[in-house]
Chains A and B, each alone.
Chain A
Amino acid sequence: MTAVAIPHIEEHHDPEGSRFGMWLFLLTEILLFAGIFLLYAVYRYQFPEDFHYGATTLHTLVGAINTIILLTSSLTMVLSIAKLVRGDRKGAVVMLGATIALGLSFLVVKIFEWGDKIGHGLFPGSEELMEHTAGENMFYGLYFGMTGLHALHVIVGLGVLAVMLYRLARKPRMTVRLPAPGNVALSLASGDGRKLWDGTADADVDGVEVSLTYSKNEEMLDKEVTRLENAGLYWHLVDVIWIFLFPFLYLIT
C-alpha cells in the first residue's frame, strides 16, 4: 500500500517580496494619477480665478465628510490586519466589513454630489457649461475626470476587499490533487492512526481531489495576512489619492 504524503504547503514563501511587488504596483497607480494631476497643475496655473470660483461651487462640508469617511476606512483596514496578525479572525472580519461599509458610503456621497452638479446642468459637454468661461470648463472637466478615475479605483478596491472578506470568513484551505489510476482503494487516516474516511475509486476515476482546511497552521495564516496586507495597501493608496484630491478641488483660494 502506497502512502502518499501531502506535499509541503509551498517552498517559495516570501512575504516581503510579495509586499514589494504590491508596492511596485502602487507606484504605477501613483504615476497614473500623476498624469491627470499634471493637467490640473497646468490649467490651475493658467486659470487661477476660475478654479477658485469652481471650488466654491463644491460643498466643502461634503468633501470633508468624505475625507473623514476614507480616513476612518483606512483605520478600520489596519485594525483588520492587526487583528488577523493577533489570530483574531472574527475581529478581522468585522473590521474588514466596516471598511467596505465606509467605502460604500463614500461612493453614495459621491453619487449625490455628482447628481447635484448634473442636475444643475454642469457636466462635461453640457450646453450650460459651454456658457461658462474656459477656466471653468477645465475645472469641471478635471473635477469629473479626477473624481471619476478615483471612484473607479474605489470600486475596484471594494471588489478586492469583498473577495478578501469572503476568504477570511471561511477557514483557509488547500486542495491537493492525487492521481488514482485504475481500481484503487482510498482511505484517509489522521496522524495518530485514526481512520477518517474509507472508499474505493473504480476504473473510470483517474484523479482524486482532497480539500484540507487549516484553522491553526502558521504558514497558511501567514499567507493570509500577507494577502490582506496587500489588499490593504491598495485601499490605503485610494485614501492617499483622495487626501490630495480634496484640497486641490475643494479648497482652492
Chain B
Amino acid sequence: MEEHTRIPYSKYLMVWFALVLFTGVTIMVAGLQVGGWSTFAAIFIAAIKGTLVLFYFMHLRYESGLFKLALTVAMLTLAVIMALTFADVSFR
C-alpha cells in the first residue's frame, strides 16, 4: 500500500500538542491589551492552527501540488469576495 503515506504516530502527537499549545496562546493574547493588533493576532494564530490540521492531519503536505493549488484558488476567491464587499461597506 505505497499509496498511503505512513506517518509515525509520534508526529501526529506532536502536531496535536502544538495545536493545544496555540489554543492556549490565542486565549492568552486575547487577554493582553494590544488594541487593533488583537484581531490580526487571532486570525494569524487560527491560520497557523488551521494550516497544521490541513498539512499534517489532512495530509496536504504529502499530496500533489494540484491539491494545494485548488485550496489556494478557493482561498483567493474568499479573499476577493471579502475585499470587494468591504470596498462597499467601509467607504459608504
Decide if A and B touch, CB cutoff 8 A. Answer: yes
- A153 in contact (CB, < 8 A): no
| Chain A residues whose CB sits within 8 angstroms of the CB of B46 once the complex forms | 243-244, 246-248
For residue B8, give the distance in angstroms from its CB to the closest CB of chain A: 9
Inter-subunit contact A243/B49 (CB<8 Å): yes
- In the assembled complex, A201 has its CB within 8 A of some CB on chain B: no
Interface size on B, residues (CB 8 A): 47
A71 part of interface (Cβ distance < 8 Å): yes
Whether A75 contacts B13 by the Cβ 8 Å rule is: yes
What is the CA–CA distance of A82 and B16 in the complex, to the nearest angstrom? 15
Q: How far is the CA of A16 from the CA of B30 in the complex (A)?
A: 40
User: What's the least CB distance linking A173 to chain B, in Å?
Assistant: 19
Q: Please determine whether B85 and A38 come into contact, CB atoms closer than 8 angstroms.
A: yes
Chain A 195-226: CB-based contact to B (< 8 A → 1; otherwise 0): 00000000000000000000000100110010
**B57 touching A27, Cβ below 8 Å:** no
Task: List, in ascending order, chain A residues with CB within 8 A of B86's CB.
Answer: 41-42, 45
Judge whether A46 is part of the interface by a CB distance below 8 angstroms: yes
CB-based contact A60/B67 at 8 Å: no
Tell whether A53 is near chain B: CB-to-CB under 8 Å.
Answer: no
CB–CB B53/A41 < 8 A:
no
Chain A residues within 8 Å of B20, by CB: 68, 71
Known: A75-B16, A239-B53, A247-B26. A24 touches B70 (CB 8 A): yes
B70 touches A244 (CB 8 A): no
- B19 A71 Cβ-Cβ under 8 A: yes
Chain A residues, Cβ within 8 Å of B50? 240, 243-244
Bound CA–CA A175/B78 (angstroms): 44
- Cβ B71 vs Cβ A23 within 8 A: yes
Kindly identify which residue among B27, B45, B57, B66 contacts A60, using a CB–CB cutoff of 8 Å: B27
B interface residues (Cβ-Cβ under 8 A, vs A): 1, 3-4, 6-7, 9, 12-13, 15-16, 19-20, 23, 26-27, 30, 33-34, 38, 42-43, 45-46, 49-50, 53-54, 56-59, 63-64, 66-67, 70-71, 74-75, 77-78, 81-82, 85-86, 89-90
- The 6 A-B residue pairs whose C-beta atoms are closest, nearest first, are A251-B30, A247-B42, A27-B74, A75-B16, A253-B38, A34-B78
Cβ contacts A to B, 20 pairs, < 8 Å: A15-B4, A20-B70, A30-B75, A31-B78, A34-B78, A45-B89, A46-B89, A64-B27, A72-B16, A75-B16, A75-B57, A82-B6, A82-B7, A85-B1, A225-B4, A232-B58, A236-B54, A236-B57, A247-B30, A253-B34
Which A residues have a C-beta under 8 Å from some C-beta of B? Answer: 15-16, 19-20, 23-24, 27, 30-31, 34, 38, 41-42, 45-46, 60, 64, 67-68, 71-72, 74-75, 77-79, 82, 85-86, 218, 221-222, 225, 229, 232-233, 236-237, 239-240, 243-244, 246-248, 251-253
